[in-house]
Every structure is written in structure tokens, then in C-alpha cells.
Structure 1
Amino acid sequence: MSESSFEPGNDRYGSQNSKSKRGKKKSFAQELVSTFLYIIVITGIFVGIRTFLFAPVSVEGDSMNPTLEHEDRLLLNKVSSVDRFDIIVFPAPEDPDKQYIKRVIGVPGDQIDYRNQEMYVNNELIDESYVDLTQESDEVSAYYNGDFSLPSLQGVEAVPEGMLFVLGDNRINSKDSRSFGFVEAETVIGETSLRIWPLNRIGSVD
């Protein structure tokens, strides 16, 4: 009677089971790596969008009343070009760690005059419907929002190349180009025209 020998390494069933276990382990490892890479890619996309395209910003203070209120949240567009009357965010000239949000009134080449509570850009009367001084007395308005021109403020006839002249919509209570001068256009972080908070005021910022 012949005897058959048994060698564990040669058992085809045992070998298949071993391969199946290794395959399962490999699949789990691959899935783990794929998930990790997916998280990295999504995070990278989010950071890229926030850094280079769009980012939320929060309004602090009342210098843009009544257009914007304290703690309003806006969506900042970092790739849009800046034009006259846009609302922009930029580093505070006297403290770059802070950010200001103001409205562009003058772009390079513009002549600006403010007299008798009326704004003139290039000798054209501007309808500033975004400014509300109805709650202020004539004396207060004249004192805090008095007449000015670029020659009287900056000693120049027009906004210089590469600069912007900005004002807060709350002219009675706003630190802006009347005090700190022109803003360098290249320092502008972005412009905003969309409010995303509070819920009852979500929508376009006119």
C-alpha cells in the first residue's frame, strides 16, 4: 500500500485561502490610502478656493451702514476686477494685520469733489443712494462730513495710477481715504457683492 505524503505548502486549498486573506488585507490597505488621498485632494481644493478665489468675510463696526451692518457675513471674490463703487476689502494702511471694508469712489484718473453733501466724480453729480444722513442734523453732517477735494486732502488733482480713493457709506463714522489717503490697488484682497448672513438678509449687496 502506498502512502501519500502531506506538505502544507503544497495544499492547493490552503494556498487559495492564504491568497484570499492577503487579497483582503491588500484591498483594505488600498481603500485606506485612497480615502486618505481623497481627503488630501478635497482639502487642497477647499484651501485653494479660499486662498485664490472666494472666502467668507465678517463685517466689524458700523462704517458701512446702512449698506452693511456689524457682523454681516459676505462672500469675498478674490479674482474679480475692481471698479468704481465696488465694495472692497484691503489691509488697514495703519495696521496691516487688520482689514477694512469700504466703497471705491475714485479710480486712477478720477477727480473727486464733495460739496454741500453731494459727491462729484469728474464733475458729474453722483447719486449716492447708499448713504443715509437723514438721522443726522445739518450741523453734525457739516462737521463730520464736510466738503473736501483731492487737492485739499492729498494735494493732487486726480487719483494717481495704481491707487484707489475709498469711503465708508456711513460718512459720519468712517475712517477712510479722507484720513489715511489712497489705497494701493495691488493690496486689495477682493471685492464683495453677496451677503451670506444673516439668513433674513441673504442676497446681493447693492
Structure 2
Amino acid sequence: MSEFTPRSARHGRKKRGDNEAWEWIQALAIAVVLALVIRYMVFSPFSVSGPSMLSTLHNGDLVIVNKMIYLFRDPEPGEVIVFHASKNKDYIKRVIAMPGDVVSAQNNIVRVNGESIDESYIDEGNRTADFGPVEVPENHVFVMGDNRMNSSDSREIGPISLDKVVGRADIIFWPPDDFSFLW
């Protein structure tokens, strides 16, 4: 071979194998980086623990949490959110009232600003103990579990600061028989 023969021609199979291996390494590295970005910045799985969201969510259900949506807007009443309840514990509850709203319950009816709210997600016979009125401070939301008599929520721990909200629970993905959208 002449001294002007390209290196790839001189080492044909070895060079092609080196390129293919390098391409696989690059593809795997990109896949890992994308998976980490998506997992920690965009979507995250969350395991429901306890009966506080029955019958919407059951103990052991796995949901996908959309972590990006609240970068563009605030939570809205009726949405199911995940938030940091303490340093080591996240809760999943439903948004009932927004900043500036006054929320209360009397005779099993939840009211926001004096108006009863539609709670079609609550099972018949599920009771809501009387409370309030509570005014929701700025940059906070008032949350409650769907299983009102068995939920530690804003009635006990107070309104939730928006900076503690992780994201909106969007999809139940496990068990497969319960697959559904939460919005």
C-alpha cells in the first residue's frame, strides 16, 4: 500500500469495529443521560402509601408525576399533587383551594368561598368532618385526601407551600389493570 492510503483502508475491519463500538458507547451514554434527565427533572414514579386517597388511588399504586407542569403554572383545584410533607416523606393529595380562598366543611359539605364544591371523586358515604373556616395564605394550596376520615392533610398539617410541590400525578401505571389518567 502506498503511504497515501487512508488509515481506514489499511485497517479496514479493525477500524470499522472500533467505530461501531464507539458508536454503541456514545448511544448508551446519551440514553443514560436522557433517562436521568427525564427521571429527575421531567417525570418521576411515585408509590402510593396508605389509604388516604381511596378510592381514586390504592396503597401500592404507582403513578407518574409530572414535575415540569408547575414551572409554567400553579396547581388547580381538583388536581392530584405530590408534595414534600416533611424532610423524609412525600404525600399525595388533591388540591381543594387556592391562595386567598376560604375553605371549610360543615355537615359533610366542603365549601370554598362559601360555595359547595363538586366532589364526584368522593365515594358515596365517605364523610368529611367539620372544620374551618381556613384562609389559604399566598403561595400555598389547601389539600385533602379523597378518603377524608383517614387522611393526614391540610386540615392537620396546614396549607402547603407551593415551593414544596413536587408535581402533578398524571397517570396510574401500576397495576396495569388500574391504568388511567388522573386529569
**TM-score normalised per structure 1:** 0.78
Change (3 A) 1:146 1:23: same
Partner of residue 169, structure 1: 146
Cα deviation digits, residues 147-172 of structure 1 (max 9, x gap): 11144xxxxxx211111111111111
The root-mean-square deviation of aligned C-alpha atoms, in Å, is: 2.2
Amino acid at match of 2:51: D
Change (3 A) 1:44 1:19: closer
Pick aligned residue for 1:69 from 52, 55, 58: 58
- Structure 2 CA distance for partners of 1:117 and 1:19, relative to 1, 3 Å: closer
Q: Distance in 2 between matches of 1:19 and 1:122?
A: 75
Which runs of at least 4 in structure 1 moved beyond 4 Å after TM superposition?
Answer: 18-21
Summarize the Cα distance change of 1:111–1:28 in structure 2 as closer, same or farther, 3 Å threshold.
Answer: same
**Are the equivalent residues in 1 in contact too, given 2:8–2:15 (CA < 8 A)?**
no
- How far off its partner does 1:19 sit? 7.2
User: Which structure: greater helix fraction?
Assistant: 1
Match of 1:42 among 27, 31, 37: 31
C-alpha spacing 1:106/1:161, structure 2 compared with 1 (3 Å): same
Residue deviations 1:126-148 (CA, integer Å, cap 9, x gap): 121222252x6xxxx5xxx4211
Question: Larger radius of gyration, structure 1 or 2?
Answer: 1
Q: Which amino acid aligns with 1:188?
A: V
Aligned to 1:110: 101
Question: Is 2:129–2:149's contact at 8 Å kept on the other side of the alignment?
Answer: no
Report how many aligned residue pairs link the two structures: 177
TM-score when normalising by structure 2 = 0.87
Identical columns (%): 36
| The one of 85, 89, 97 aligned to 2:82 | 89
Match of 1:172, SS state, is helix
Output the CA distance in 2 between the equivalents of 1:166 and 1:179.
Answer: 10
